[in-house]
Amino acid sequence: MTIRFALLGAGRIGQVHAKAVASNPQAILIAVADAFEEAATALVAEFGGELRSIETIAASDDIDAVLICTPTNTHADLIEKFSRAGKAVFCEKPIDLDMGRVKACLEVVDNTNATLMVGFNRRFDPHFIALKDAITAGKIGEIEMINIISRDPGAPPPEYIKVSGGIFKDMSIHDFDMARFLLDEEIETVMASASVLVDPEIGALGDYDSASIILTTASGKHCAISNSRRATYGYDQRIEVHGALGLVSAENQRPVSIELANADGYTRPPLHDFFMTRYIAAYGAEINAFIGSLVSGSAASPSGQDGLASLLIAEAALKSVKEGRAIKLADLS
Amino acid sequence: MTIRFALLGAGRIGQVHAKAVASNPQAILIAVADAFEEAATALVAEFGGELRSIETIAASDDIDAVLICTPTNTHADLIEKFSRAGKAVFCEKPIDLDMGRVKACLEVVDNTNATLMVGFNRRFDPHFIALKDAITAGKIGEIEMINIISRDPGAPPPEYIKVSGGIFKDMSIHDFDMARFLLDEEIETVMASASVLVDPEIGALGDYDSASIILTTASGKHCAISNSRRATYGYDQRIEVHGALGLVSAENQRPVSIELANADGYTRPPLHDFFMTRYIAAYGAEINAFIGSLVSGSAASPSGQDGLASLLIAEAALKSVKEGRAIKLADLS
Amino acid sequence: MTIRFALLGAGRIGQVHAKAVASNPQAILIAVADAFEEAATALVAEFGGELRSIETIAASDDIDAVLICTPTNTHADLIEKFSRAGKAVFCEKPIDLDMGRVKACLEVVDNTNATLMVGFNRRFDPHFIALKDAITAGKIGEIEMINIISRDPGAPPPEYIKVSGGIFKDMSIHDFDMARFLLDEEIETVMASASVLVDPEIGALGDYDSASIILTTASGKHCAISNSRRATYGYDQRIEVHGALGLVSAENQRPVSIELANADGYTRPPLHDFFMTRYIAAYGAEINAFIGSLVSGSAASPSGQDGLASLLIAEAALKSVKEGRAIKLADLS
Amino acid sequence: MTIRFALLGAGRIGQVHAKAVASNPQAILIAVADAFEEAATALVAEFGGELRSIETIAASDDIDAVLICTPTNTHADLIEKFSRAGKAVFCEKPIDLDMGRVKACLEVVDNTNATLMVGFNRRFDPHFIALKDAITAGKIGEIEMINIISRDPGAPPPEYIKVSGGIFKDMSIHDFDMARFLLDEEIETVMASASVLVDPEIGALGDYDSASIILTTASGKHCAISNSRRATYGYDQRIEVHGALGLVSAENQRPVSIELANADGYTRPPLHDFFMTRYIAAYGAEINAFIGSLVSGSAASPSGQDGLASLLIAEAALKSVKEGRAIKLADLS
């Protein structure tokens, strides 16, 4: 069985996914759509397939699944269109920045019985999977507290900030999903504090660049998240999970593992400086998992509901900052 | 110049301080008081001095300074008594569990122009000092976020919990002081979430055993603290400080630095399992600093006001848990 | 320009190289030869090309280069055949186990002006390259001493030991090449001690399974190598280079970077347990380097002379063990 | 029972030992001898006792044991004198630089039934003891290979080199003793290579500053030692022991355990830069062990024979360098 793919959006992340499809013996890239034809042509030359318009793809009988890698503001519309067209859909996060729009979109997915997987790639990182496996195997007993430190090497440009949905929906949302993935229990309340410490322009746009967040579950488990739009030493991505029997942690990844010792001390090189380099294995594994779920008929995960759940936490975090109080998710949704 | 000391309380911590006094060429142990005479006798046999009652010590001309290592509920009375008696006072934290009592006590200290140093020993840990030095030297630029993970190897017995003042005043208070020490800016608001995950009996006593806390300063700096009364792998004491130019962190201390590699992986021994072993160097340095300030006439630090400030944060943390909102310290004091 | 490849030998390492050729936009796999047709067919199905006999390949006009991945005892003959046929040759190490045979073969390479690259893959490991780069950049000043620890997870079966050429020619030879690569100075003398500690059957076959070797250059630089056919914790591959200004080291690679802490201590998973997993990046980079040298017309490296030089050291090491003395390479060749 | 001590030599190491005696409740410092009276007076002021001449001490009834911390060339004479005087003797290594002199001295010790302990302090380092304990507990199975890296921060002055006995007797001897301590099997053969890479003046004095050594036991176990008189990053002292079931290693000690991360990478401070700082705990434990053996009547260890055995290895190492061959210890003694 071979899953026949169309790719919507031939940009940076589209190329990564095209490569994953081309490398998977159970998948083939049939069509690519991008308003910017040159990008689509180059991608086709490298990974196969042909150029088609989005409309043509939706009407194509030889397409089983689509990968939505277009700008965020097109996601919900495209999910609905291809759900209705009977295609399995993989969509980069977020579905939409507006909760109402996401809910409406997921209703269409539901009604059309479509398959939808949302691109929370970090769930597929081999190190975080090993972390999850250790938890599942009972190595740390019942989870008590999770600590996530997640910092970008540098702040994105103002143009991006403007359409990003803000730090919680754009950046922290990955950590919210990771917290949900690891906790196996839904978040009940959210407390957050946020500041502008990195770039005043981010503040001028009404956003924050530094945030501390505490998520609490009904049973009293905590997850503390530290986010910053700046880290001079690279892309800082650490998770540790404390439980009744022990602690399991995932360390940062480094491009090379050498160390130099001299009169100044012992120095190792900085971390990866780009999320696509850091998570390169995760991106590949994510698409393989999508293909695997289509081949086997098992549920695609993370689902649209997972996307919605983390978006809700992001809304709560912002509300907590604005109102200076703990927000119960039940009061929001 | 030799500072002549009296020690009040010949228990565990009293012995540690007596050793520090005995080892310091600028100090001498003159007198020891303890209701439990056997303990005092043993201590005197090892570190010198003679047994005297508290009243006698207060009236003794040959005593310059006292070390208060008695139970918490006697601290404020003894500070007042010895301030009035013209002795320099070192007192183990906390001054008292009640804010009002602390304020009244500090007023006496003020009015008598007494010297008072409070035993926040971690400020004297060589690793945390190196951390502070790196910050002061500008190595990480302006501080943005601090993360403190502070977990005890195991929960104290219920008898202790009952008189402890609760997790925030008993345990987190060390981390609050460390946050203040490192930030060089006062805390403005406190958010906290707390749970009973380790021992239901702690919950039955109205206390918590697991807590996540976010402290925020006026300029928007954050300090996130993770506390637990349990850590199977030892006494977990880590601090990292993130700034505009970089990150500086202090790792856990280990009794021995060996590693065993076999088919199960690479294993290092657990951490210290006791705070007195972990902070043995800090206790010594703390008393040396007190002696140094008396000899040189410089201000003893941390001061009674430092003790008060962290107690206020502890009160705010508890109030935040109870009311589910961020507490402004200005509204409390 | 596209380099047209034939692959000789469709086994484990042949597949790895075929993948590298298929992934390189400047190369194409045209033909595959393997006595075991099924293997060749499977490989062609995945990476392209067609089945041809070795004779046909040698006579083919549409082949620029061959990758020799056949058993060791065929290497020298094949290198000669394809050198004479005007093909560029990449050959897995060793060229041959017999010094005389290697010299004769290299003479043919020389006389036919053929391009020959020998598969010392570790030179292409990104971590060891970073090590080399640090040295070249002058970070440690003049090299003084190198320490290489190189241990296999487990001993190969007796059938392999019999045809392996012995521990020095089979295993240590990689470390000898690494020493030469890093030192940038030829080895002058070799001292070695070897034992049978892992498997008596290895001793019964006249070989050793544990060895310590000291290589010395004319200027007095040392390289100490520790080899073992056993390491319960995985494939142990560490190098450190000590120089006048400092020390640079390359640590082991781990499949996942998680750590579990509990009452037994802090445990990280074992190392990679297989050389092909550990050096997967190196294998790809090696073939890319070969392709790059063919495209650019630069000299392929490591060369046949590099292969010969390390074989000579291996002979000297064995002689040193047998005779209990330092062997000068000049006396051997 | 209190052991009454005399200290011969009030220099750097004498002060360290005096402190250990003064801190041990089972010992007391009675007398101190030093040709340089000022040093002896200062020491007595700090740690107690009175000034006496060596002759007086030898004749004193109130002295049970002596600590010999005088220059090397006086050691053998003093050991003999105090053995005959019926005192227990602790002597800093080496007993003498000349094998014959050491043997003669040990004969006197034997004939007088004296107690003699030699100051191989590293056996008392808590980290190396943990290493030894892991081995004894069977954690790594049968030992196969030991790797010791032992580098001084900087070369001593020429005046010291002249009387040092050379790198093997002065520096490597500690590693030879450690190899013997860990192996629990005598060394059979020694191979060594040595160079002058650090300081030509050391070469001019007929000594070496860089050495690689392979020790082999009768059963084929190896110990490889790397020595250098230079290490820009501090006092480098690492040991790893490889066995049939695993590997156990002791890492370097650091004065502070902080790490700074910035655009240049992750940097930890250099190591201790002085052997007395690095081994401060070992020095104390060593004297405590000596006192413990006197109190309990158990044999003092390491013994004079241990001192002799390592000196023999040092002689063999030098001979191996000079003659370019493996030296059997049996042929030497």
D250-282 pLDDT tens trace: 999 999 999 999 999 999 999 999 999 999 999
Contact A301, A35 (CB under 8 A): no
Residue that terminates a domain, selected from C83, C114, C145: C114
Is any Cβ of chain C less than 8 angstroms from the Cβ of B265?
yes
- Tell me the CA distances in angstroms from A173 to A180, A187, A306, A307, A313, one per residue in order: 11, 13, 11, 9, 8
Say if the Cβ atoms of D198 and C244 lie within 8 Å.
Answer: yes
- The answer to whether residue A303 sits within a structural domain is no
**Chain C residues touching A253 at Cβ < 8 A:** 257
Residue that terminates a domain, selected from B93, B114, B135: B114
Shortest Cα–Cα distance, A331 to chain B (Å): 14
Contact C150, C237 (CB under 8 A): yes
Which pLDDT tens digit goes with each residue over A180-220? 999 989 999 999 999 999 999 999 999 999 999 999 999 99
Say if the Cβ atoms of A151 and B242 lie within 8 Å.
Answer: yes
Is any Cβ of chain A less than 8 angstroms from the Cβ of B272?
no
* Residues A44 and A140 both lie in one domain: no
Tell me which residue in D145, D214, D216 faces C228 most closely, judged by beta carbons.
Answer: D145
pTM: 0.96
Is any Cβ of chain B less than 8 angstroms from the Cβ of D163?
no
* Residues B169 and B314 both lie in one domain: yes
**Chain B residues touching A245 at Cβ < 8 A:** 232
Cβ count near D163 (within 10 Å) = 11
Q: How far apart are CA C112 and CA C82, in angstroms?
A: 10
Q: How far apart are CA A175 and CA A83, in angstroms?
A: 28
* Residues C276 and C175 both lie in one domain: yes
Contact D187, D246 (CB under 8 A): no
Say if the Cβ atoms of B266 and C268 lie within 8 Å.
Answer: yes
pLDDT classification of B1: cutoffs 50, 70, 90? confident
- The answer to whether residue A291 sits within a structural domain is no
Is any Cβ of chain B less than 8 angstroms from the Cβ of C267?
yes
The DSSP 8-state label assigned to residue C18 in this structure reads: H
Q: What is the pLDDT of residue C160?
A: 95
What CATH number is attached to the domain comprising B53? Answer: 3.40.50.720
Q: What is the pLDDT of residue D1?
A: 81
Of B258, B261, C268, the residue nearest D133 (C-alpha): B258
* Residues B188 and B73 both lie in one domain: no
* Residues B262 and B129 both lie in one domain: yes
Query: Helices (DSSP H) in B120-172: which residue ranges?
Result: 126-136, 158-164, 167
Q: What is the pLDDT of residue B33?
A: 97
Quote the tokens at residue A51: 């150029």
Q: CA nearest B267 in C: which residue?
A: C267
Of C74, C71, C72, C55, the residue nearest C63 (C-alpha): C55
Which pLDDT tens digit goes with each residue over D50-93? 999 999 999 999 999 999 999 999 999 999 999 999 999 999 99
Say if the Cβ atoms of D248 and B259 lie within 8 Å.
Answer: yes
Residue that terminates a domain, selected from A45, A80, A114: A114
Contact B265, B213 (CB under 8 A): no
Say if the Cβ atoms of D233 and A263 lie within 8 Å.
Answer: yes
- The answer to whether residue A294 sits within a structural domain is no
- ipTM score here? 0.95
Q: What is the pLDDT of residue B318?
A: 98
* Residues D138 and D270 both lie in one domain: yes
C1 contacts: CB under 8 Å, gap ≥ 6: C26, C295
Say if the Cβ atoms of D247 and C231 lie within 8 Å.
Answer: yes
- The answer to whether residue B295 sits within a structural domain is no
Say if the Cβ atoms of B266 and C264 lie within 8 Å.
Answer: no
* Residues D78 and D134 both lie in one domain: no
* Residues D26 and D174 both lie in one domain: no
Please list the pLDDT of chain C residue by residue as tens digits (333 residues). 899 999 999 999 999 999 999 989 899 999 999 999 999 999 999 899 999 999 999 999 999 999 999 999 999 999 999 999 999 999 999 999 999 999 999 999 999 999 999 999 999 999 999 999 999 999 999 999 999 999 999 999 999 999 999 999 999 999 999 999 999 899 999 999 999 999 999 999 999 999 999 999 999 999 999 999 999 999 999 999 999 999 999 999 999 999 999 999 999 999 999 999 999 999 999 999 999 999 999 999 999 999 999 999 999 999 999 999 999 999 996
Taking each continuous run of H as one helix and of E as one strand, the counts in chain B are: 13, 15
Q: How far apart are CA D313 and CA A297, in angstroms?
A: 71
Q: CA nearest D25 in B: which residue?
A: B46
**Chain C residues touching D246 at Cβ < 8 A:** 232-233
Contact A32, A41 (CB under 8 A): no
- The answer to whether residue D59 sits within a structural domain is yes
Q: What is the pLDDT of residue B212?
A: 98
Say if the Cβ atoms of C230 and D210 lie within 8 Å.
Answer: no
Tell me which residue in B233, B265, B268 faces C269 most closely, judged by beta carbons.
Answer: B265
Cβ count near A218 (within 10 Å) = 11
H or E stretch covering B267: strand B265-268
Which pLDDT tens digit goes with each residue over B258-303? 999 999 999 999 999 999 999 999 999 999 999 999 999 999 999 9
- The answer to whether residue D30 sits within a structural domain is yes
Interface of B with A in 197-216 (CB under 8 A): 197-198, 210-212, 214, 216
Say if the Cβ atoms of A197 and B216 lie within 8 Å.
Answer: no
Q: What is the pLDDT of residue A131?
A: 98
- The answer to whether residue C286 sits within a structural domain is no
For residue D209, pLDDT beyond 90 = yes
Q: CA nearest A138 in C: which residue?
A: C260
pLDDT classification of B41: cutoffs 50, 70, 90? very high
Which pLDDT tens digit goes with each residue over B181-211? 999 899 999 999 999 999 999 999 999 999 9
- Tell me the CA distances in angstroms from A219 to A229, B191, B196, C193, D63, one per residue in order: 31, 19, 9, 62, 69
Query: Helices (DSSP H) in C112-211: which residue ranges?
Result: 126-136, 158-164, 167, 173-183, 200-204
Say if the Cβ atoms of D195 and C189 lie within 8 Å.
Answer: no
**Chain C residues touching A250 at Cβ < 8 A:** 257-258
What CATH number is attached to the domain comprising D158? Answer: 3.30.360.10
* Residues C143 and C227 both lie in one domain: yes
- The answer to whether residue D15 sits within a structural domain is yes
pLDDT classification of B243: cutoffs 50, 70, 90? very high
The chains found to touch A (3+ Cβ pairs under 8 angstroms) are B, C, D
pLDDT classification of B142: cutoffs 50, 70, 90? very high
**How much of chain B, in percent, has pLDDT values that exceed 90?**
98
Shortest Cα–Cα distance, C198 to chain D (Å): 7
Across A145-167, b (16+ Cβ under 10 Å) vs e yields bbbbbbbbbebbeeeebeebbbb
Of B278, B281, B280, B253, the residue nearest B268 (C-alpha): B253
Domain hosting B28: range is 3-114
Q: How far apart are CA B18 and CA B24, in angstroms?
A: 10
Q: What is the pLDDT of residue B181?
A: 98
Contact B246, D266 (CB under 8 A): no
Choose, out of A167, A226, A237, the residue to mutate when testing the contact with B (most B CBs < 10 Å).
A226
Say if the Cβ atoms of C249 and A258 lie within 8 Å.
Answer: yes
* Residues C70 and C127 both lie in one domain: no
Which pLDDT tens digit goes with each residue over D129-152? 999 999 999 999 999 999 999 999
For residue B333, pLDDT beyond 80 = no
Across A34-163, the runs of DSSP E, i.e. the strands, are 50-51, 65-68, 88-92, 116-119, 143-151
Query: How many domains does one find in chain A?
Result: 2
Q: What is the pLDDT of residue C1?
A: 81
Is any Cβ of chain C less than 8 angstroms from the Cβ of D218?
no
pLDDT classification of B168: cutoffs 50, 70, 90? very high
* Residues C29 and C168 both lie in one domain: no
For residue A1, pLDDT beyond 90 = no
* Residues C257 and C140 both lie in one domain: yes
Q: How far apart are CA A62 and CA B56, in angstroms?
A: 98
